[in-house]
A and B are shown apart, each in its own frame.
Chain A
């Protein structure tokens, strides 16, 4: 199995630009999670989906952030407009019902100048 795939691995952009992060979960997994990791705040859950439906988005910092999961094999996290404080590593993880194990992708390192 290829594991969770995230793209791009690195993204450098300027303040005000739109940023789209992509995730392909492990085939057969029905849960998908988006996390953000920063030195100041640690690892935070932003949003998670079950069967492509958003279940809890209480961790999404503000309206500039949005996430979609149009099908079982693809999800996006979009930031529009981006700000320097959005600089972080964004992780996608997937899991299967009853498994109680989340499988993390390698992350996208985002730098907003």
Chain B
């Protein structure tokens, strides 16, 4: 079984500042990793995903994440945030094996608040 820990429940930041949202996972097998974003009163939307290949993954809205297997981390970063980035961000993991397609385990979420 997998588990995901998002180390910060809330991250306040000023507009145009850089931000990092931290995610650590636990698994005994190879994994796929995801970041989803949830804007108020909406469903989740995929930001980016790591399946294989380059450990630096670029996503939508200028976000990127780096897979670090030795540290079992998948931190999300953005060099300069905007007010519109205010949302809740979820890290998710799933077993890379074919028998558990789609069975994601989500972290508890990090609320990013961007202040003017």
Say whether A100 contacts B51, CB under 8 Å: yes
Say whether B103 contacts A56, CB under 8 Å: yes
A45 and B109 contact, Cβ closer than 8 Å, known pairs A100-B51, A104-B45: no
Say whether A43 contacts B43, CB under 8 Å: no
Say whether A101 contacts B46, CB under 8 Å: yes
User: Bound complex: CA of A45 vs CA of B104, how far in Å?
Assistant: 7
Say whether A31 contacts B44, CB under 8 Å: no
Mark each residue of chain B from 27 to 50: 1 if its CB lies under 8 Å from any CB of chain A, else 0: 000001010100001111110010
Is the interface on chain A under 10, 10 to 19, 20 to 34, or 35 or more residues?
20 to 34
* Stretch touching chain B among A60-68, A75-83, A90-98: A90-98
- Is residue A69 contacting chain B, with contact meaning CB distance below 8 A? no
B106 CB to closest chain A CB (Å) equals 4
Give chain B residues whose Cβ lies under 8 Å from the Cβ of A101: 46, 49
User: Bound complex: CA of A93 vs CA of B34, how far in Å?
Assistant: 15
Give chain B residues whose Cβ lies under 8 Å from the Cβ of A31: 101-102
B-to-A contact residues, CB < 8 Å: 32, 34, 36, 41-46, 49, 51, 90, 101-109
